[in-house]
Structure 1
Amino acid sequence: MKVYISGKIGEEVLSEATRQKFAEAEQMLKAKGYETFNPTTSGLGGYAEYNVKNAMYKTSFYQEILLCDLVQLAQCDAIYMLADWSESNGANVELDFAVATGKQRFWEGEEDAKVFCDDAGNYTDVWMPIEREP
């Protein structure tokens, strides 16, 4: 199963903190046996920049990178929502796309897992917290 990692990025030049939280999610998912798509290491930024400069339509970097990411999400079986997903317009779009296309959904946040799972009494099937060292 291939899992797309979604969360708040909000920057064209990725900070180390953003890279780290996505890397931690990727490491946890791979340890559970999943294949992953990590948008912070995908290299799609260059493609999005090229499209902004060369497209006949006036698009922004944000629009282009979101479109690239949705194409990748379409090729995945599931989405993993980092705890800060609700702070990101892009992650909200990715979640909507995942729901609309029937992708399985996993959550870093326990409350999100409880709210969004089909059976609130059995949310542990979709809750996958990241173990962080203090």
Structure 2
Amino acid sequence: MGKVKIYISGPIAHYDLHERKHAFLMAKERLESQGYDPVNPFDNGVPDNAHWREHMRADIAMLLKCDAIFMLPGWELSKGCKLELDVASSCGIAVIIEPVHPCDYDVKKSGAETCVLP
């Protein structure tokens, strides 16, 4: 069996794009360091200036190929994150919610509301 693929979900629209890319990169690096195969929606192949709906189509296609979704802080205020969470939950994809103030970061012990990773 290969590495567990985890889709990273977090607020993007209406935020500073450079800061968001950095936050997603940091999450990707943390997940990689724990042996997971993170999937970053910034790697969806859609130009940054494309319409939100085009990004969501590409992002959901990426999400559906993953074993889990990792929700970054602020997801509760994001229409896109809530949509991704709904798709993941409806399709039986595990949900991991990053703590707002993570310390001793470890996905398996993150205090996630739902975490059924092997």
TM-score normalised over the length of structure 1: 0.68
Rounded to whole Å, the distance in 1 between the matches of 2:79 and 2:66 is 20
The alignment's C-alpha RMSD in Å is 2.6
**Kindly tell me: are residues 19 and 115 of structure 1, through their superposed partners in 2, closer, same or farther at Cα, counting changes over 3 Å?**
closer
- 1:116 counterpart SS class: coil
Match of 2:25 in 1: 23
Larger Rg: 1
Rounded to whole Å, the distance in 1 between the matches of 2:111 and 2:32 is 23
Match of 1:92 in 2: 82
The count of corresponding residues between Structure 1 and Structure 2 is 105
Structure 2, unpaired ranges of 5+: 102-109
More helix by share: 1
CA contact (8 A) 2:96 2:112 kept: no
Deviations 1:71-117 (CA, angstroms, capped at 9, x unpaired): 00000110000011111100000000000000111111269x76833
- 1:96 counterpart SS class: helix
The reply on whether 1:116 has 2:117 as its aligned counterpart is no
The reply on whether 1:34 has 2:36 as its aligned counterpart is yes
Match of 2:107 in 1: none
CA contact (8 A) 2:44 2:62 kept: no
- 1:46 counterpart SS class: coil
Deviation at 1:14, TM superposition (A): 6.0
**Kindly tell me: are residues 73 and 21 of structure 1, through their superposed partners in 2, closer, same or farther at Cα, counting changes over 3 Å?**
same
**Kindly tell me: are residues 110 and 47 of structure 1, through their superposed partners in 2, closer, same or farther at Cα, counting changes over 3 Å?**
closer
% of aligned pairs identical? Answer: 30
Match of 2:7 in 1: 4
Rounded to whole Å, the distance in 1 between the matches of 2:21 and 2:47 is 17
